[in-house]
Amino acid sequence: MKQQLLIVDDNDMMRSFLSHYFSKHYDVQTANNGQTAWSVLDGGFFPDLVLLDLNMPEYDGLALLKQLKNSVLFHDIPVIVLSSVSKSQEKIKCLHAGAVDYITKPFNPQELEARLQYHLRVNNVKA
């Protein structure tokens, strides 16, 4: 059984690229904002990891990250923030909120995949 990823990004091209890139080895679901992502989770999709953009309309990535980490059901799911925001303060805020990693766009897909695999491996050891 493939591990499951939830990709949350408001950019259609980024969602499409990430979904295509990772769907070869993972079961991928996508959402265009935090509210839609929560609906996907609430609908029964339980990902092994979440790739999360920060700047999204309606319900941003930091709000979703905090909601996930405060949830009894979803708080153990590792979240990698994938954002164009490169300010150190924003990275620190996300890491303090519970993100396991923060990767700045533009990014190397192979580096993202290596980090994703690392966090999935670390998370599985704890299980």
What pLDDT does residue 126 have?
Answer: 46
Express each pLDDT in 31-90 by its tens digit. 999 999 999 999 999 999 999 999 988 888 999 999 999 999 999 999 999 999 999 999
Mean pLDDT of the chain: 93
What pLDDT does residue 58 have?
Answer: 82
Residue 98 pLDDT level (bands cut at 50, 70, 90): very high
SS (H, E, C) the chain: CCEEEEEECCCHHHHHHHHHHHCCCEEEEEECCHHHHHHHHHCCCCCCEEEECCCCCCCCHHHHHHHHHHCCCCCCCCEEEEECCCCHHHHHHHHHHCCCEEEECCCCHHHHHHHHHHHHHHHHHHC
